[in-house]
Amino acid sequence: MPAPTRSIWGPAIEIADRIASEEPDEAGRLERTNREIQWCGKWTRVGGAIQSTCTECGCLLVNQGVVKMNATLCLCSRGWVKTIFETLLGKPVRVELEKAIGRGDDICRYVVQT
């Protein structure tokens, strides 16, 4: 599969690629990701996974009023998280969406299994 491009993923993929090339360890990558890539929550290492909990929808299309919130868009956000973390970590990851505001939950919780 060809590498994702800016036209598909926006500047976040380029930022993730830069962070991965400049930061030798995961802790530094997470810290910079939290500072440099716009997201609805903070990414933290919890046991064997990296997690983020959002109290508001993180979808830019929803937040900008382009589309109404729905569960399908939550899957798009999950794909975005997968692409960002595979770029940051340089390996395949699995992303679970444990809770989603678009599915009626009060929060969104993303869990990246490395």
* Residue 15 counted as domain residue: yes
Section 39-53 average pLDDT: 96
69 band by pLDDT with thresholds 50, 70 and 90? very high
Whether residue 4 lies inside any domain: the answer is: no
Number of domains into which the chain is organized: 1
Q: Residue 82 pLDDT more than 60?
A: yes
Q: Is residue 86 part of a domain?
A: yes
pLDDT band at residue 10 using 50, 70 and 90 as cut-offs: low
Average confidence (pLDDT) over 26-43: 96
Q: By residue range, what is the domain housing residue 62?
A: 9-113
pLDDT in tens, 101-113: 999 999 999 999 9
Residue 1 lies in a domain: no
Q: For the residues 81-98, what does the mean pLDDT come to?
A: 97
**CA torsion 61→62→66→70, rounded to 10°?**
110
Task: Report the predicted TM-score, pTM, of the whole model to 2 decimal places.
Answer: 0.88
Average pLDDT of span 59-71 = 89
* Nearby residues of 13 by Cβ (< 8 Å), 6 or more positions away: 4, 5, 6, 83, 84, 87
Domain assignment of residue 104, yes or no: yes
